[in-house]
Amino acid sequence: MKKTLFSFLLLSVAFTVQSQPACNPKGDFSFTRNPCSAFDITYATNAAGFTAIRWQFGDGNTASGSSSATHTYASLGNYQITLIIDYPSCSDTIVKTISVTQQSDAQLIQTVDTLLCSGSTKQLRSSPGFVYCWSPAAFLDNPLSPNPVTSTTQNITYYLNSLSQGTNLITNGDFNLGNTGFTSQYFYTANNTTEGQYYVGNNPSSWYFAHYGCGDHTTGTGNMLLVNGSPQADVEVWKTTVTVSPNTNYTFSTWICSISVPNPAKLAFAINGNAIGGLINASQPPCNWFQFYTTWNSGNATSAVISIINKNTILFGNDFALDDIYFAPFTFRRDSVKITVDKPSIISSADQEICAGKSVQLNTNGGASYVWTPANGLSNTTIPNPIASPILTTEYYVTGTNANNCSGKDTVLVTVNPIPIISINADTSICPNSSIQLSASGGADYSWTPSGSLNDASLPNPVATPITPTKYKVIVTSAAGCINSDSVQVNIRPSNNFFVDPADAICLNNSRQLNAGGGDTYNWTPASTLNNASLPNPTATPVNTTQYTVIISDTVCHTSATLNTTVIVNNLPTVTASKSNDIDCANDISTLNASGALSYNWIPGTGLSNPSVSNPTASPTDSTRYIVTGTDINGCTNKDSVTVNVSTTGKSQYLMPTAFTPNGDGINDCYGIKYWGAIRDLDFSIYNRWGELIFHTTSPSICWDGTHKGVKQDAAVFVYVVRAVTICGEAYRKGTFALIK
C-alpha cells in the first residue's frame, strides 16, 4: 500500500492593481512553481523599457534590477507580492496575494507499492498531469518523466510532485471541430500560397506540397492548426476569450511542431494583451511535437483574452502546426510509492581445489530453486549441492531463485590441480648382491614400496639392494596434495652360464664355426686360423687337429671363464683311377676301376653302367675323361681321373655267336652283339622259325635271354638280323643260331 502522501504547495494568487501614477495599459507578471522544490517560486514579467524594477515577496524579502526573480519561502501562509516598474513617464505597480496551501492525491501515482527483484527494473506510472518531478532522483532514468524507470538496488520511497490541469476552458483546443472557437489575424485558406495564411486540417503536405506530411499530436490522424507564418511580429496567430474565476491559478499550454526545414518560428503566449512566459519554438526535426506552457493568476478578473502571437521576423521557413491548446486551472499534487528490493542472499561454499580426475561437492543456500552453469562436469545443474568433476579449472555460477521469484547469484571457483608428471628410471637389471640408485621426480613428497631393500623409502632417489627381482612402486605427491604413481622393475642378472660347444671334426681344407656364449666379450686363441678371434662364433680353418681356447668375460658383473674346444682335422683319402682298355673297332667296352676310398662317384655318367660303383663299364663313342670322387669313412673326399680313348683301329668282322645256352649258369646265358666296337646306331631283331619276331632292341648292351612273353623257348634254330652303325662303319648281318638246352 502507498504511504500517506505528503502535501504539496498550491499557490492561490489574488490580483490587485495600484497606480502611482498608473501606466496605461497596465502590465502583468507570471509565476512558475518548481515541482522539484515545493517552496521555490519564480516570478517573471515581459515588461520592457523600464528604468527600475523591484520585487517584494510578502515575507520581508525583496529583489530588484531584473524582470525575473526566484524566491524560496520558509513556511506556509499568505504572501502579498508587489511588482513596481518605473518607466520614464509613468510607474506601474502590480500586487497579487499568494496563498500557500498543501494538497495530496493518493491517486497521482498509479504504481502500487512494489516488491522488486534485485537487478531488475520497474517502470513507475502516474496519472495524467502537466509537469512531473520524482524524488529522490537516485536510480531513475528521468526524474522529470511521468513514467520513469527505476533500477534501484535498495529499498526506497519515491515521491512525485505534479502540476495537474483541470477542465480545459478552450472549446476547440484540438481543432477537431474545424475552423471555429477562435479567431486569427492570418487568412484562412484550403491551399497555402503565401505567408500569413492558416488552415485546419490533418495533413500539412496536402495544404502545401513542400510541407512534411505530419500527423496531429494526439492521434496522428486528427486535425491541427496549420500555419504559414508571416515575418511580422506581434500578429495574433490564434485568439479566444474565456471566462475565468477570480484569484485562480491557470496554465496556458500548446503543442507545436515544425512542418518545414529550416524553421525559425517563434511564438509567445499573451493574456489580455500582455505577453507572458518564454518563447515558443518550432524545433527541428519536422513532425516532432513539443509542449510549451506558462502559469498565470487571474487576480480579480472574470474573463481573459488569451492568444498566441507571432514573434518571428524571418520570412523563409516560418511554417508550423499547433494542436491541443489548453487553458485550465491547475493544482500541485503529491503522492508516494514504496519500492522494496528483494535481493536473495545466495551463499555458496568457498572456492575449492581438487586434483585432476577427482570430484568435490558444491553447496549453496538462500533460494528455493537453483541453476548452475556451466553444466560441464556437474552431476546435476538444478540442485543446491551438485558434485563437480571438472577437467579444467572452472568457475561455477549458481543462480538461486526465492519464493518471490527473485534471484541472486554466487560463484565457486574449482581449481583443478594437475597430478604429478613422474619421471622414473627405466626397467633395469643388476648383478647379484649389488645395488642401484632409483630416481623419480615431479612431486614434493615420495613414498617407495617395498621399503625393506631401500635405504630410505621417502627419498626421490633411494638406493635399492634387492635379493630377488623386485618391482618398486613410488607414490608421488605434489605441493597441492595431488597423487600419482609409477613403478620400475629391477631384475637380478642370472649367474653367468659361460659355455663353449664341442666342435665337429672336419676334413682337411674345410672350416668349422665355433660357438661360445654367456658373456659380453670373447678372446679366442690361436687366432691365426680364425676369421675373427673376438666373436662368440668365429670360423676356424685349421690344417691339423687344433685345440682352441676362449676367454669369456661379463663386463657388467666383471666375471670371466676360460674354456676349450678341439677341432679334429681328418686327412683326405688317396683315390686312384684306372681303366682296363680303350675302345676301338674290336672292343666296345672298357672297365674302369677306383681304389682308396669307401664309396665313389664317377662323372660324367653318360656311357657308364653304374657311376656309383668302383668298377663301372664304360661304352663311350668318343674319347672321354672320367673323374671319380672317393669318400672315406670320415666323409672326407678326394679325386682322380682316367681317360678312355675311342679309335677306329682293329676293325671288327662283325661276327655273331652260332649258339647259346640260357640255362642260368652264368655262362653264355644271353644272345647278343659282342666285339663290334662302339656302336652309334643299332637295329637288332630275332625271329623264330615261323618268322615271328620274338626279340628286338636298339641298345648294344641288351641281349636275348631265350624267353618270349615270359615263356622260355624250346631248343631250336632262330634267325637274327642286325643293322648297325659303328665308329668303324656300317654293318649288316643276317644268320641263324641255335638255342641249346
Tens digits of residue pLDDT in 118-147: 888 999 999 888 789 999 999 999 999 999
Q: Is 368 in the same domain as 351?
A: yes
Give the mean pLDDT of 353-364. 93
Domain of 397: which CATH number? 2.60.40.10
Domain annotation covers residue 89: no
pTM of the predicted structure, to 2 decimals: 0.53
User: Of 570, 599, 633, which marks where a domain is finished?
Assistant: 570
Domain annotation covers residue 290: no
Q: How many CA atoms within 13 Å lie on the side-chain side of 121?
A: 10
Cα(273)–Cα(306) distance, rounded to whole angstroms?
8
| Among 164, 163, 166, 158, residue whose Cα is nearest residue 111 | 158
At 207 the three-state DSSP class reads helix
Percent residues over pLDDT 90 in the chain? 64
Domain annotation covers residue 272: no
pLDDT of 5 reads 31
Q: Is 563 in the same domain as 585?
A: no
Say if residue 16's pLDDT is above 60.
no
Cα(492)–Cα(411) distance, rounded to whole angstroms?
57
Cα(139)–Cα(123) distance, rounded to whole angstroms?
11
Q: Is 351 in the same domain as 407?
A: yes
Cα(150)–Cα(198) distance, rounded to whole angstroms?
44
Domain that holds residue 701: 659-739
Domain annotation covers residue 405: yes
Give the mean pLDDT of 81-94. 90
Say if residue 1's pLDDT is above 80.
no
Q: What is the 3-state secondary structure (H, E, C) of 377-436?
A: CECCCCCCCCEECCCCCEEEEEEEECCCCCEEEEEEEEEEECCCCCEECCCEEECCCCCE
Burial (0-12, 13-18, 19+ Cβ within 10 Å), 219: exposed
- Find the angle CA(351)-CA(357)-CA(362) to the nearest 5 degrees: 30
CB 54 within 8 A of CB 62: yes
CB 85 within 8 A of CB 45: yes
Domain annotation covers residue 600: yes
| Among 221, 184, 195, residue whose Cα is nearest residue 206 | 221
| pLDDT band per the 50, 70, 90 thresholds, residue 9 | very low
Domain annotation covers residue 139: no
Cα(307)–Cα(234) distance, rounded to whole angstroms?
10
Q: Is 384 in the same domain as 365?
A: yes
Looking at the structure of the chain, the number of domains it has is 5
Segments in 39-95 forming alpha helices (H): none
| pLDDT band per the 50, 70, 90 thresholds, residue 4 | very low
User: Of 555, 570, 585, which marks where a domain is finished?
Assistant: 570
Q: Is 694 in the same domain as 714?
A: yes
Pull the grid cell for residue 484. 600419482
Give the mean pLDDT of 36-43. 86
Q: Is 436 in the same domain as 394?
A: no
Cα(242)–Cα(252) distance, rounded to whole angstroms?
12
Q: Is 519 in the same domain as 479?
A: no
Cα(531)–Cα(541) distance, rounded to whole angstroms?
8
Domain annotation covers residue 28: no
Q: Which residue has the cell 543456500?
A: 365
User: Of 492, 509, 536, which marks where a domain is finished?
Assistant: 492
pLDDT of 732 reads 84
Domain annotation covers residue 328: no
Long-range Cβ contact pairs of 188-193 (< 8 A, separation 24 or more): 192/226, 192/228
Cα(303)–Cα(243) distance, rounded to whole angstroms?
4
Q: Is 431 in the same domain as 367?
A: no
